[in-house]
Amino acid sequence: MKLRKELNEISLIIDKLVNIICVILTFIMFFSVFFQIIGRYVISGSIAWTEELARFCMIWLAFLGASTLVRNWENTSVTFVKNKFRQSTRKILEICIVIVMLVFMTVIFYLAVTQIPRYSLYEKSPALMISMLVPKSSIIFGSLFVVVQLLWKLADMILEGKEEEK
């Protein structure tokens, strides 16, 4: 189906963008930790901002990486119960799982969008002195990308079922 192909392309573009951002964040985190080690063992003094920068990069990596896991359907699941069902029942169960995840992540996104700017805009990080909106917005973007990928997954599962019926 044309719609399924177009949705897959959009999901793939988002996944590639997220992967590029994650690679950049990984390099930033690596060099930040490297400078922290150099500071501690060569200079004999800690560089204050490196630990905080590495922590913020790790937070962004966790939330953005979740969308890639959902895209590839590599999230943790208990399959021994699901595998006991027939194939048709298993499909319905998987769709229900995606819907529950979608509702949960939509609630997370909504709460993040409404609450984080309210409480984090004027809060500053101790070492980098940047607005805490920067690290906390990882929840907003991460949950948004997960919601988009879950919508794609749900549409793909439903459209796949319709293609099999034909």
> pLDDT tens digits, residue range 4-57?
889 899 999 999 999 999 999 999 999 999 999 998 888 888 888 999 999 999
Q: What's the whole-model pTM score? A: 0.89
- Residue 1 above 80 pLDDT? no
Residue 76, pLDDT score:
72
* CA pair distance 103, 159, nearest whole angstrom: 20
- Residue 161 above 90 pLDDT? no
